[in-house]
Copies of this chain bind each other. A is one copy, B any other.
Amino acid sequence: MKLFVIKIGGNVIDDAGALDAFLASFAQIEGYKILIHGGGKIATKIGEQIGVESKYINGRRITDDATIDLVTMVYGGLVNKKVVAQLQVKGVNAIGLTGADGNIIPATKRPVKDVDFGWVGDVETSQLNVENLKLFLDAGLTPVFAPLTHDEQGHILNTNADTIASSLAVALSPDYNVRLIYCFEKKGVLESIEDESSVITHINKAKYAQLLSEQKLFEGILPKLDNAFAAIDAGVSEVLIGDAKDLLQNTRSETSGTLITK
């Protein structure tokens, strides 16, 4: 059974028109699907209004007490429930979730070494409880995840949406033929960063080794590709990196983005 695990980033969340178009495409996907959304700039904006400053160390956000309340409100409430309501009107029986709900994604508060990142959760894929998620899918429900988990000690934790998406994809791989789709701001992995038409339509491990040796790839894409192959090594059938606007095309066998396989 095919399952699409789809992650959209904050840039789509922040743009009402782009979000609506994306959700319309998402609604048209047949069969099992799960959506994971990022946060968007709205949390920063509301944070400024209530006096919660965004704090960063080495480019990584620090989630203090005030910040976890902020993102719980904005990601888990405002963004998540708006997406659910908008999917419902498009005929998708969506159910909004965090990793705390049904204890689907327990996580560990990141240990303090040099930096205390605060209420940030690291996920161990083997700890996920996806039984109820399968039940939801079978009941015709479409789970929509905010990028939040919990520590099983009463605290909500901030967790990277890409990580939630890949963890869910891996945990569901024994039961489904999973295509994990990362929507981002480009058409796919490009051979030439300046040329949007230079999408590499298919990368397997051999091809990746070749591209690396030729030093053809833009450095920023390497972590995404490493994560994609990690997901594939852990059981995910296919990973697709592509533009949110091309979502429907990217659920098919001929994709316009970059399909990554073993």
Contact = CB atoms under 8 A, between A and B. Distances in A.
B81 A100 contact: yes
A141 interface: yes
Contacts of A85: 100, 150, 154-156
Contact of A50 (B46, B72, B89, B102): B46
A222 to B, nearest CB: 34
Nearest to A138: B135
A53 interface: no
Contacts of A139: 131-132, 135
A100 B86 CA distance: 10
Interface string A135-170: 100010100000010101111100000000000000
Interface stretch (A90-98, A171-179, A210-218, A245-253): A90-98
A46 B74 CA distance: 12
Given A89-B154, A96-B98, A102-B93, A78 B69 contact: yes
A148 B82 CA distance: 12
Contacts of A59: none
Given A76-B77, A86-B154, A88-B154, 19 more contacts: A46-B73, A49-B49, A50-B50, A72-B77, A73-B77, A75-B77, A81-B98, A84-B150, A85-B155, A85-B156, A88-B152, A89-B152, A89-B154, A93-B103, A94-B101, A94-B102, A95-B97, A96-B97, A102-B141
